[in-house]
């Protein structure tokens, strides 16, 4: 797989190099230079396969030229060793549950696979000189909620790495915060006085800072990393193959829009998906963009679906690249609507009253996308302060989440200024 920058001003690199780099030297995001459609016969042969078997088969198609096939298969099976249930709510509506990994959020798919890919690439480099900086590989990640816990736990204890998690102080749930502030060891949690947009801006500025890059081996585990997105293609392919025809539309709760990019890339490979709904919060940059054709970011506003609180979605750049800047073509495949906190709470209540299904706020937004299949991206217990009043029932807390809440938090705090982040790093 040859990878290029969305901005077209950086040299093409291998997938291995893209995984380690995170972001391209020109500030763009890495994308596959081409996505060749797999034959219909290939897809038909995968029907009935387990999720893990399909994931291994797709991984081989995408990256077996750079990784030994048996090593790649072992890596994928180890990273994705949890179920992907598809719950049928009625004859026309199904939900794909993506929260059965160790941090109870869909971010486990990308984070766990990326951690193992990075470890494998690091081994192949051997003990000699490293390409930039010296010492441990610093994995810098900005989170609005679930990414921080997934990345921190995926890399926790991994030799030769340290993880620095930037998050907006006071704007993540107590469970989310506990998942990345109580690990210590090689994980540093940094509360930023600002919004998620500030955290994301700081991370991007760090990657663009050549002085910092010369001193550190710095990489990303946000959805700006191509290594995070490719494993997410697997569950789109798996879900689509469970659908009885090729008229499937999947609703993807969208904030930074990396998850949607993974779905679009899966459809380009030939997964039988007819379209996507990309509902979001009142942070409606993408719905406005699809309507007007103009990109007009706004400062993000906190909502009950905090993992989607972004006013300047970084992965919109990948979407534009995939569609060659043709907004009309994008509209033909993707619809996007914005939803208020009141609508989200009402959707949580409706899912419970109609189907007895308990959904977190992000899953409720996916339901509001009105598609035949929608993605459930987080366990409702992670947002019990929103879910419990909506359904009038206590949501049991899984033991690992209760244990995280009981541990002591260790947090460093900075302002939303690059010099403060550079000093900390």
Q: Report residue 31: phi and psi, to 5°.
A: -140, 155
pLDDT tier for residue 131 given thresholds of 50, 70 and 90 = very low
Residue 137 pLDDT greater than 50, yes or no:
yes
What is the per-residue pLDDT across 36-86, written as a single tens digit (0 to 9) for each?
999 999 999 999 999 999 999 999 999 988 998 999 999 999 999 999 999
pLDDT of residue 128: 38
Distance of CA 146 to the CA centre of its chain: 9
pTM of the model: 0.89
Q: How far apart are CA 3 and CA 1, in angstroms?
A: 6
Q: How far apart are CA 255 and CA 308, in angstroms?
A: 4
Q: What percent of the chain has pLDDT over 90?
A: 73
Structure tokens at 58: 């797709």
What is the per-residue pLDDT across 304-319, written as a single tens digit (0 to 9) for each?
998 888 888 889 999 9
What is the per-residue pLDDT across 356-405, written as a single tens digit (0 to 9) for each?
999 999 999 999 999 999 999 999 999 999 999 999 999 999 999 999 99
* Choice among 143-152, 369-378, 407-416 with the minimum mean pLDDT: 143-152
- Secondary structure letter of residue 2 according to DSSP: E
Q: How far apart are CA 383 and CA 100, in angstroms?
A: 16
Residue 295 pLDDT greater than 80, yes or no:
yes
pLDDT tier for residue 110 given thresholds of 50, 70 and 90 = very high
pLDDT tier for residue 124 given thresholds of 50, 70 and 90 = low
Residue 147 pLDDT greater than 90, yes or no:
no
Q: Which domains, ranges and CATH numbers included, belong to the chain?
A: 76-105+227-396 (3.40.50.1100)
pLDDT tier for residue 135 given thresholds of 50, 70 and 90 = low
Residue 129 pLDDT greater than 80, yes or no:
no
Residue 145 pLDDT greater than 80, yes or no:
no
For residue 327, what are the CA distances in angstroms to 6, 253, 324? 16, 20, 9
pLDDT of residue 157: 86
pLDDT of residue 133: 44
pLDDT tier for residue 245 given thresholds of 50, 70 and 90 = confident
Average pLDDT over the chain, rounded to whole?
92
Phi-psi region of 266 (alpha: psi -120 to 50; beta: other; left: phi over 0): alpha
Residue 24 pLDDT greater than 60, yes or no:
yes
Q: Is the separation of the CB atoms in 167 and 177 below 8 Å?
A: yes
Q: How far apart are CA 165 and CA 151, in angstroms?
A: 8
Residue 257 pLDDT greater than 60, yes or no:
yes
pLDDT tier for residue 125 given thresholds of 50, 70 and 90 = low
Residue 132 pLDDT greater than 80, yes or no:
no
- Secondary structure letter of residue 38 according to DSSP: P
Residues 270-290 have a mean pLDDT of 95
């Amino acid at each position: 797989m040859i990878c290029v920058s969305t901005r077209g001003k950086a040299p093409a690199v291998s997938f291995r190099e893209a995984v380690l780099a995170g972001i391209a030297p020109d500030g763009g995001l890495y994308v596959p230079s081409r996505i060749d459609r797999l034959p219909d016969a290939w897809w038909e042969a995968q029907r009935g396969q387990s999720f893990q078997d399909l994931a291994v088969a797709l991984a081989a198609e995408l990256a077996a030229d750079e990784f030994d096939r048996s090593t790649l298969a072992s890596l994928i099976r180890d990273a994705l060793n949890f179920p992907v249930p598809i719950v049928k709510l009625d004859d026309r509506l199904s939900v794909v549950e993506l929260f059965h990994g160790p941090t109870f959020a869909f971010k486990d798919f990308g984070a766990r696979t990326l951690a193992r890919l990075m470890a494998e690439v690091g081994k192949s480099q051997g003990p000699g000189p490293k390409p930039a900086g010296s010492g441990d590989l610093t994995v810098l990640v900005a989170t609005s909620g679930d990414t921080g816990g997934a990345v921190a736990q995926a890399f926790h204890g991994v030799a030769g790495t340290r993880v620095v998690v930037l998050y907006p102080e006071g704007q993540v749930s107590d469970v989310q915060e506990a998942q990345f502030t109580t690990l210590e060891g090689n994980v540093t949690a940094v509360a930023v006085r600002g919004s998620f947009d500030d955290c994301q801006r700081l991370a991007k500025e760090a990657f663009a800072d050549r002085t910092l890059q010369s001193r550190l081996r710095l990489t990303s585990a946000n959805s700006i990393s191509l290594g995070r997105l490719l494993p997410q293609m697997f569950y789109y392919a798996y879900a689509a193959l469970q659908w009885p025809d090729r008229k499937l539309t999947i609703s993807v709760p969208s904030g930074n829009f990396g998850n949607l990019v993974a779905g679009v890339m899966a459809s380009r490979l030939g997964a039988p998906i007819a379209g996507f709904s990309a509902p979001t919060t009142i942070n409606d940059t993408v719905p406005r963009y699809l309507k007007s054709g103009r990109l007009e970011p706004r400062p993000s506003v906190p909502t009950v679906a905090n993992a989607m609180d972004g006013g300047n979605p970084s992965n919109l750049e990948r979407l534009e690249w995939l569609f060659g800047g043709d907004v009309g073509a994008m509209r033909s495949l993707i619809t996007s609507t914005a939803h208020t906190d009141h609508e989200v709470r009402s959707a949580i209540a409706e899912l419970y009253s109609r189907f007895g299904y308990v959904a977190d706020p992000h899953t409720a937004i996916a339901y509001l996308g009105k598609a035949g299949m929608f993605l459930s991206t987080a366990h409702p217990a992670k947002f019990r302060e929103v879910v419990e009043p909506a359904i009038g029932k206590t949501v049991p807390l899984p033991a690992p989440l209760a244990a995280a809440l009981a541990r002591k938090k260790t947090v460093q705090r900075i302002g939303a200024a690059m010099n403060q982040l550079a000093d900390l790093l």
